[in-house]
Amino acid sequence: MMGAWQRFTTRDLMAGSFCIGVAIFILSRTLTTVPGVDLGATARWSFVLFWLGTTGGAMARLFGPTFDDLARRGRDLSLAYAAAQLVHLAIVVRVLYKTPRPASELLFFGTAVFWTYLLAGLSVKKLSNRLNPTVWRILRTVGVEYIALAFLFDFGRKPLDDGFFKALYYVPFLTLAIAAPLLRLAAFVKRTIDKRRTMVGSTT
């Protein structure tokens, strides 16, 4: 049975995730004057959507039908991540205007932004259907893993910058960032093994 959230369309999820991002920004600015809280909070919100959108299929393969609904909405959740990320990027632009960052850092994270919206654009079915399935799979894999690396790097460096207690605040997100590629790798290995078993079974 599909969960209740499955009734929402792709546009509903995108609009909702964007509005939640805006609400997070407003609350962050209203409830605290600590610099960077709005930046970190909107990043974590978009990361949660990215994580769910890109690991649901892996979890369904590894842990069974409990996660089938999540796997079926992977594309929609990934597009919701792209929508939520717009709020975060608006804050990033404001921060960069006041405090420029090294070119290497801008290139690294800018490439993740490029992959985010390239994959979002190519996920439009009229476009993705025109691509060779192998090419689309390679692009999607490279893009997803690069974005995952950017999140991992961002969450991984924060505990070192902000001290022990701030590190505790980042641990859950850092743990998820580490777990995501491992889950996808494990699912790939399981899929490969299952295919080989099927091939062996069909020839005996």
List the chain domain ranges: 8-196
Greatest Cα pair distance, the chain, in angstroms, is: 69
**58-89 pLDDT tens trace:** 999 999 999 999 999 999 999 999 999 999 99
**Residue 115: which of 87, 95, 144, 135 has the closest Cα?**
144
pLDDT of the residue at 126? 79
Kind and range of the H or E run holding 69:
helix 68-72
pLDDT of the residue at 159? 56
Q: Residue 1 — very low, low, confident or very high, per pLDDT cuts 50/70/90? A: very low
Sole residue written with tokens 């600590």: 34
Half-sphere exposure of 48 (CA within 13 A, CB side): 11
Q: Which residues contact 170 (CB under 8 A, 6 or more apart)?
A: 155, 158, 159, 162
Q: Residue 45 — very low, low, confident or very high, per pLDDT cuts 50/70/90? A: very high
**108-137 pLDDT tens trace:** 999 999 999 999 999 887 787 788 889 999
Q: How far apart are CA 101 and CA 198, in angstroms?
A: 52
Q: Which residues contact 162 (CB under 8 A, 6 or more apart)?
A: 170
Q: How far apart are CA 167 and CA 161, in angstroms?
A: 9
